[in-house]
Amino acid sequence: MAQFTLDLNDDQKQVRDWLHGFAADVIRPAASEWDEREETPWPVIQEAAKVGIYSLDFYAQQFFDPTGLGIPMAMEELFWGDAGIALSIVGTGLAAVGVLANGTEEQIGTWIPQMYGDANDVKIAAFCSSEPDAGSDVASMRTRAVYDEAKDEWVLNGTKTWATNGGIANVHVVVAVVDADLGSKGHASFIVPPDTPGLSQGQKFKKHGIRASHTAEVVLEDVRVPGHCLLGGKEKLDERLARARERAKSGGERVKNAAMATFEASRPAVGAMAVGTARAAYEVALDYARTRSQFGRPIIDNQGIAFQLADMRTQIDAARLLVWRASWMATTGKPFTSAEGSMSKLYASETAKKVTAQAIQILGGNGFTREYPVERMHRDAAIYTIFEGTSEIQRLVIARTLSGMPIR
């Protein structure tokens, strides 16, 4: 039997150190500028593509790490650099996960490379699920996809919101209703290829945090996509809908919907992002407490400061362990019998908000200014308890999993 260990292997350490160097040397120096500009940091994305970080090959290598730690390790280091820029670099990954979770091998091989492009011609993608009246309540989704059998095309109409890279992406993955009677089980995911008529960007949001990441509405007006753009294919969809109808009649077990499959696969990665931001704020606070003197001694000598730092470090390490456990379970095929994926996202998100707030407190007035990065980190951390399932939704998922109640 293999010996239990939490040590990273040599290859993982090498990747971690490489990512940390990129985050320190490229992302951090640019963080304040792009936060103020509230624009997609194309030069940083292009630099990431040149060195191989923004590429299908890199994410595939991390995704297929047999320990499951490749993706969370990468997310933590990049988001340690800056959450807004890092989200611009990894935002395409959510659309890619949508294809991996629901697509055929042919669709995976065709579309995911087009989401990234190459170092000379960088592409981006967007995953579009949330709507103005359907965020956590995915069953209320109104975007419709109607099949035109004569032309073997799907016609999409509706408005999506809170889409990272929405409207500026080369490839959009859109979740739409194909059978309204089935609620969330009547959803399917579609690829909208580049330059498809009828897709446009709606409102671009001016956000509290992660301001270097583009977030916008996506408007779909009679958007026609070929039949082969239905992820998984029509035969598989028809079989899934038939099973859902039978279960609805008999009151039997429910099947997962397309959006939930994507979110469940990505929640530990979001937890890792939160860990990176929390760790960054903690390190700034620790360094400040060691060097800032009041009443003739460093403020870390004061128990009130020292105990805060002790709690911050403990919570960060606990959050990382929950993320690593969920990631390892997902990779090794172990079911989330206690909603371990949601646990990791919940605890890490709440930790990031708390730790960044404590960092501001430790820095005092300096922490409240934009001269120090903890102010930006605190604004950025607020998103982790909101996107890809709010903390309240995570608690609901955990509670229903533990009780045996259905998760709708």
pLDDT per position as a tens digit, 251-280: 654 445 555 555 566 789 999 999 999 999
CB neighbour list of residue 184: distance below 8 Å, 6 or more residues apart: 138, 139, 141, 257, 259, 260, 408
Instruction: Name which residue leads in pLDDT, 406 or 369.
Output: 369
CA distance 129 to 163: 8
| pLDDT of amino acid 265 | 61
| pLDDT of amino acid 244 | 85
| pLDDT of amino acid 182 | 87
- 205-249 pLDDT, tens digit per residue, is 999 999 999 999 999 999 999 999 999 999 999 899 999 888 777
| Mean pLDDT across 20-24 | 98
Strands 125-128 and 144-148: unpaired
- Kindly name the residue from 76, 131, 340, 388 that is annotated as catalytic: 388
CB neighbour list of residue 61: distance below 8 Å, 6 or more residues apart: 70
C-beta neighbour count of 407 within 10 angstroms? 17
| pLDDT of amino acid 6 | 86
What dihedral do alpha carbons 10, 15, 21, 26 form, nearest 10°? 180
| Mean pLDDT across 129-135 | 83
388 as an active site residue: the answer is yes
Q: What percent of the chain has pLDDT over 70?
A: 94
| pLDDT of amino acid 251 | 61
**Integer CA distances (angstroms), 129 to 21, 142, 185, 385, 388, in order:** 34, 10, 14, 18, 10
Local confidence band at 407 (pLDDT 50, 70, 90 cut-offs): low
Local confidence band at 84 (pLDDT 50, 70, 90 cut-offs): very high
